[in-house]
Amino acid sequence: MEKYGYKFSFGPWNIHEGADPFGPPVRPTVAFDKKLEAYQRLGFDAVQFHDDDAVPNLDDKRPDQIVQEARALKQRLDAAGLVAEFVAPRLWEHPMTIDGAYTANDPAARTYARERSRKMLDIAQSLETGFVVLWLAREGTYMREAKDAARAVDLLVEAIDDMLAYAPGIRIAIEPKPNEPMDISYIPTIGHAVALGLKTRSPERMGVLVESAHAILAGLDPADEMAFGLAYDKLWSVHLNDQNGLKFDQDRSFGAVNLRRAFDQVLVLDDHRFWERGMVGLDVKAVRTQKAEAAEKHLSNSLELFLWLVERVRSLDRSAMRQLIEARDYEELDRLILSHLMGRA
């Protein structure tokens, strides 16, 4: 498979049982080892980890046990010809994170979040990835008066500074999302994420990760969010997927809802040689109706579409585009792009 210089990743949660808030699982659980086998078979290079994907039940384990288990996992990754792209703290399930983690009103909850983050950093070190992603899932409120939003920024900076000091070699990307599970989340867009990073003790070690659906949920264009991150040289990863309207995060297969929007994301990434900057990550889920024996197609379809769109980007008639842009004939530019996407030109 020609991958045009790109490397690809997904998280084990992208192979899942299909439960949703209105119905139970519809597919059997796939064991982690089985998921690991799927990566190379499907053409992927790296695994995205939540801390407890790598070391289950880590809240009940001593630091030395955590390191030992993470090192054993690293050997399994080596044997499978895979690397860890990043590790992320899962700070949205434990009871101590009900009211948020880093921005919780309860100082004990904030202490839990900081300690859990240090364990996550130990795992990242053991998996030999210098890259951490923070999706600030419950950093927000259901009612504005419950927290001081300005103080929340300071609390986030304090928590990030602690991580940056604890792991001097680590780089951290913020993965913004405007809502869900919170009614309104802090740090909802790439602009907020870049600004937050600039406020920390080591701004050069702070970057961003754009998830297509998260930008769409914020009413923004994912390609423009990526472009903003690129303009600051801080786009260190992406989560490609798709989203049909402003509802819950659907994590649909890349391009499944809007092909032009997917094309524009690949255009901005490829024009900025993203294959030299970071990995193309997916964050996709099979629709609940998909049968178990065919419940990997959201991954293979997304990867395949990305590569097809790279071919479309690289075969664009750029001089014709330049002429139409100079003439400000954007309707004709529309036609050029659409006919190219349809294989008619």
69 binds ligand XLS (CB under 6 A): no
Measured from the Cβ of residue 289, the count of other Cβ atoms closer than 10 Å reads 7
The SS3 call for residue 103 is coil
Partner whose binding site includes residue 88, from ligand XLS, Mg ion, none (CB under 5 to 8 Å by kind): ligand XLS
Torsion angle in degrees (nearest 10) through CA of 19, 21, 22, 25: 10
Q: Catalytic pick from 16, 51, 52, 53?
A: 53
Residue 333's nearest CA partner among 270, 266, 264 is 264
Please indicate whether residue 16 is annotated as part of the active site.
no
Window 154-183: residues binding ligand XLS (CB under 6 A): 175
Judged by beta carbon, residue 16 or residue 239, the one nearer ligand XLS is 239
Query: Is 66:127 a contact under the CB 8 Å cutoff?
Result: no
Contact residue for ligand XLS among 16, 27, 35, 50 (CB under 6 A): 50
Query: What is the closest distance, in whole angstroms, from the C-beta atom of residue 133 to ligand XLS in the complex?
Result: 5
Classify residue 119 by burial, with Cβ atoms within 10 Å: 0-12, 13-18, 19+: buried
Query: Is 91:113 a contact under the CB 8 Å cutoff?
Result: yes
The two three-digit tokens of residue 24, written as one number: 């139970």
139 binds ligand XLS (CB under 6 A): no
Can you tell me the distance from the alpha carbon of 283 to that of 252, in angstroms, rounded to the nearest whole number?
8
Site string for ligand XLS, 8-47 (x = CB under 6 A): ---x------------------------------------
Window 282-321: residues binding Mg ion (CB under 5 A): 283
Query: Is 300:28 a contact under the CB 8 Å cutoff?
Result: no
Please indicate whether residue 50 is annotated as part of the active site.
yes
Can you tell me the distance from the alpha carbon of 146 to that of 3, in angstroms, rounded to the nearest whole number?
48
Contact residue for ligand XLS among 69, 139, 264, 283 (CB under 6 A): 283
211 binds ligand XLS (CB under 6 A): yes
The SS3 call for residue 172 is strand
Judged by beta carbon, residue 173 or residue 324, the one nearer ligand XLS is 173
Judged by beta carbon, residue 163 or residue 324, the one nearer ligand XLS is 163
Classify residue 46 by burial, with Cβ atoms within 10 Å: 0-12, 13-18, 19+: buried
The SS3 call for residue 6 is coil
Site string for Mg ion, 138-177 (x = CB under 5 A): ----------------------------------------
Contact residue for Mg ion among 139, 211, 225, 296 (CB under 5 A): 211
Q: Catalytic site residues?
A: 50, 53
Contact set with ligand XLS (CB under 6 A): 11, 48, 50, 88, 133, 135, 175, 211, 239, 283
